[in-house]
Amino acid sequence: MSSEKLKPLEASDPKKVGGYRLLARLGAGGMGRVYLGRSKGGRPVAVKVIHPHLAEDAQFRRRFEAEVAAVRRVGGIHTVQVVDARADADPPWLVTEYIAGPSLQEAVGEHGAFSVVAIAGLGAGLAEGLMAIHERGVVHRDLKPGNVLLAQDGPRIIDFGIARALDVTSQTTRTSVVGTPGFMSPEQLRGREVGPASDVFCLAAVLAFAATGRRPFGDGPIEALGYRVVNEEPDLTGVPAPLLPLIASGLEKDPEDRPGLEAFLEHCSVLAEDGDAPLPEPVSTMIATRVAETAVLAPPPQDAPGDGRRFPPLGRMKLPVAAVVGVLLVAFAAWAIGHDGNAPVTPKAIATPKRTPTSPTPAPQPSETASATDSATPTPTSDPTRKAFEKISAGDCLDAYERPSGEWSRSKPRAVGCGRSDAHLKVLKVVDDSSECNRHGADLDGELWWTYGEDANEIALCVQRQFRTGDCFLATKGENENSVAISNADLMTSWPCGAGSAPGEYDFVLRITAFTSGACPPGGRRVHWEVRGRTLCTRIV
């Protein structure tokens, strides 16, 4: 965790909390004051000390302890990890890893809006972080520019879940309003139950802020902001065209009309993958300065050359080496001159024929005239794509779906937890002939296959679409203007529910309202389908 610029400790500040020596002030929030600290092993950490008036509330302590336990389970490369906490201390405290970088609020406030590629890298990282949070059953509820830190290796989300411990201090309930005006979802402001879709709204608002330098619902008193969020459209003037449909759909008033986080991750990663998502140079310099200040205050232990993190960021950030070195020297000189060394400073319709999704192109084989030593073509055992297929087993779930172009969204399969919102497919079996996957002939069953290789080298995954309420897929017109037609391949597609229109050859976006053996929910332009002996209920978006 990080916050504002480092400030010296004051006389009233503690010198140590738990086993952590405090070095400087980072900032303050609704729960307490945050300090830069150092662990016994020499690692820089962020230490949050709870405000005394909250510490006196026994119910708060119990809630705080429960929330910390939940957040400890959250993993992911774009979240800040909780490393220690004591709810029974006087006062209670929380320790997280320290991120040497400014908040998004600070960076945009000082240097203005980001470029398209930088926003895309930011969006992909935040979507991935939120997905990790949701996978553990935690909803952030207060994602805002101040809770997003910009580090050397990508953005980090802070304060997820912990804010719920504050509910007990204001005589609130499980539907209480907890969040930041201007970045809260309409359902938050109305005091209703909030779920992952609420964080999608907040993410879209944060990306709009990064794209324009201002809040999408303006500024002003809390009441005025709340009214605009619930009743008025956001001001998205200046949001770049490649991001406008996605951000606009994320800010839909109805949670069911917002796309899932996987849509943000997919769209943003595609925009970012052709570049290295550089931050504005002044922001990179801000990060370099924080790194330098931290190195002066809490140098890494000599026997620990690295922190063990080994992952490529979606948005790599260029840091000028000369700037880092220069800032470090200046910071050290200032420190040496000004201090004595001891003072420290986040309708049932017509089913169209099946079409087989495009498979990844098999690795080329050596020509008959080329020798084995001359060919650089990988053998089946060394082919990374084949290895990815061979890792998949029956029962695994995959975070893949069919694009409107007919290709799979991933070049090779990856198993994910079946409870994840992006677990679109479930593997029924793994075979060496894709014809074995066609269990029901031409029936509409939501099943297809994903193959690699040919003939004797073929490996096929027989996959089945998982139907989740709220997900959207694509469909075409049937034999007349009033009918809707789908195929098994269409059922494998995924599309943002709030996108507004279907792409390419498609005519409709359908939202799943139920997958049931009973009656479909009423309302909307409804269409239903018999799939796998049950009724797939949808409505036209």
pLDDT, tens digit (0-9, with 9 covering 90-100), for 143-196: 999 999 998 788 999 876 454 444 433 333 333 445 677 899 999 998 888 899
Sheet holding 447-452, edge to edge: 415-416, 397-398, 425-431, 459-465, 447-452
Query: Which comes out higher in pLDDT, residue 446 or 406?
Result: 446
| DSSP per-residue string spanning 191-228 | T----HHHHHHHHHHHHHHHHHSS-TT--S-HHHHHHH
The CA dihedral of 207, 212, 213, 217, to the nearest 10 degrees, is -80
Residue 430 has pLDDT above 90, yes or no: yes
pLDDT in tens, 109-154: 999 999 999 999 999 999 998 988 888 778 888 899 999 999 878 8
Enter the DSSP assignment of 407. Answer: B
Residues of the chain with pLDDT > 70: what percent? 77
> Nearest-5° angle of CA 443, CA 449, CA 454?
130
Residue 299 has pLDDT above 90, yes or no: no
Tokens of 127: 């979507």
Residue 277 has pLDDT above 70, yes or no: no
Strand pairing report for 526-531 and 534-540: antiparallel
Confidence of residue 375 (pLDDT cuts 50, 70, 90): very low
Neighbouring residues of 540: CB distance < 8 A, sequence distance ≥ 6: 484, 508, 509, 510, 511, 524, 525, 527
Tokens 């232990």: give the residue: 301
Enter the DSSP assignment of 339. Answer: -
Label residue 109 left, alpha or beta by phi (over 0 means left) and psi (-120 to 50 means alpha): alpha
User: CA nearest 297: which of 106, 47, 43?
Assistant: 43
pLDDT of residue 230: 93
**Average pLDDT estimate for 428-450:** 85
Amino acid identity of 373? T
Residue 223 has pLDDT above 80, yes or no: yes
pLDDT in tens, 510-540: 989 888 888 888 877 889 989 988 999 999 9
pLDDT of residue 179: 60
Residue 51 has pLDDT above 50, yes or no: yes
How many whole angstroms separate alpha carbon 110 and alpha carbon 34?
22
Mean model confidence pLDDT for the chain: 78
Lowest mean pLDDT among 212-221, 249-258, 341-350, 356-365: 341-350
Residues with catalytic function: 142
pLDDT of residue 294: 80
